[in-house]
Amino acid sequence: MSFFTTNSLFQTTTVPIPNGFAAQIKDKPKTNPIFLDVTPARTPYMKPPSPNAVAPMRNNLINPRLTKDIVYENIKPVYSLLRIMGVLPITRTSPGVNEFQIASPSMVYSGVVFFTMLSYVLYLSLHKVQILRTAEGKFEEAVIEYLFTVYLFPMVVVPIMWYETRKIAEVLNEWANFESAYKQLSGRALPVSLYKKALAIAIVIPVLSLTSVVITHITMVHFKPMQLIPYVFLEILTYILGGYWYLLCEMLSVCANVLAEDFHQALRNIGPAKKVSDYRALWLRLSKIARNTGIANCYTFTFVNLYLFLIITLSIYGLLSQISEGFGIKDIGLALTACCSILLLFFICDEAHYASHNVRTNFQKKLLMVELSWMNTDAQTEVNMFLRATEMNPSQISLGGFFDVNRTLFKSLMATMVTYLVVLLQFQIIIPDESQNQEPMEEEPVANYTASTTEALTTTTTAITTILTTLAKKKKKH
pLDDT > 70? residue 63 = no
| CA distance linking residue 239 with residue 204, whole number of Å | 10
Q: What is the pLDDT of residue 28?
A: 47
pLDDT per residue over 130-145, tens digit each?
444 444 445 556 666 6
- 12 — pLDDT class (breaks 50, 70, 90): very low
Contact indicator for 185, 279 with CB cutoff of 8 Å = yes
Number of domains making up the chain? 1
Amino acid at 371: E
- pLDDT at residue number 427: 74
- In a domain, residue 475? The reply is no
Examine the pLDDT at 399 and tell me if it is beyond 80: yes
Mean pLDDT (whole number) for 365-382: 72
On the question of pLDDT at 210 being above 70, the answer is: yes
**Residue 378 pLDDT:** 73
Say if 312 falls within a structural domain: yes
| Stronger pLDDT, 128 or 145, i.e. the higher one | 145
Average per-residue pLDDT for the chain: 74
Q: Provide the pLDDT for residue 135.
A: 42
pLDDT at 224: 67
First to last CA, the chain: 171
pLDDT exceeding 70 applies to what percent of the chain? 65
Is 40 contained in some domain? Answer: no
The yes-or-no verdict on residue 161 having pLDDT over 70 is: yes
Instruction: Convert the pLDDT of each residue in 404-450 to its tens digit.
Output: 888 889 999 999 888 888 887 777 677 655 444 444 444 444 344 34
222 lies in a domain? yes
3-state secondary structure the chain: CCCCCCCCCCCCCCCCCHHHECCCCCCCCCCCCCECCCCCCCCCCCCCCCCCCCCCEECCEECCCCCCCHHHHHHHHHHHHHHHCCCCCCEEEECCEEECCCCCHHHHHHHHHHHHHHHHHHHHHHCCCEECCCCCCHHHHHHHHHHHHHCCHHHHHHHHHHHHHHHHHHHHHHHHHHHHHHHHHHCCCCCCCCHHHHHHHHHHHHHHHHHHHHHHHHHHEECCHHHHHHHHHHHHHHHHHHHHHHHHHHHHHHHHHHHHHHHHHHHHHCCCHHHHHHHHHHHHHHHHHHHHHHHHCHHHHHHHHHHHHHHHHHHHHHHHCCHHHCCCCHHHHHHHHHHHHHHHHHHHHHHHHHHHHHHHHHHHHHHHCCCCCCCCHHHHHHHHHHHHHHHHCCCCCECCCCCECCHHHHHHHHHHHHHHHHHHHHHHHHCCCHHHHCCCHHHHHHHHHHHHHHHHHHHHHHHHHHHHHHHHHHHHHC
**58 lies in a domain?**
no
Answer yes or no: is pLDDT of 285 > 80.
yes
Question: How much is the average pLDDT of 17-34?
Answer: 47
Q: Report the alpha-carbon distance of residue 312 to residue 56 in Å, rounded.
A: 45
pLDDT at 345: 92
* pLDDT above 70 for 107: yes
pLDDT class for 247, splitting at 50, 70, 90? very high
Range of the domain at 251: 72-430
In this predicted structure, the answer to whether residue 159 has a pLDDT above a threshold of 70 is yes
Q: What is the pLDDT of residues 108-117, one digit of tens each?
A: 999 999 998 8
**Predicted model pTM:** 0.72
Residue 221: pLDDT band (50, 70, 90) is low
What confidence tens digit (pLDDT) does each residue in 298-348 have? Answer: 999 999 999 999 889 888 887 877 666 666 677 777 888 889 899 999 999
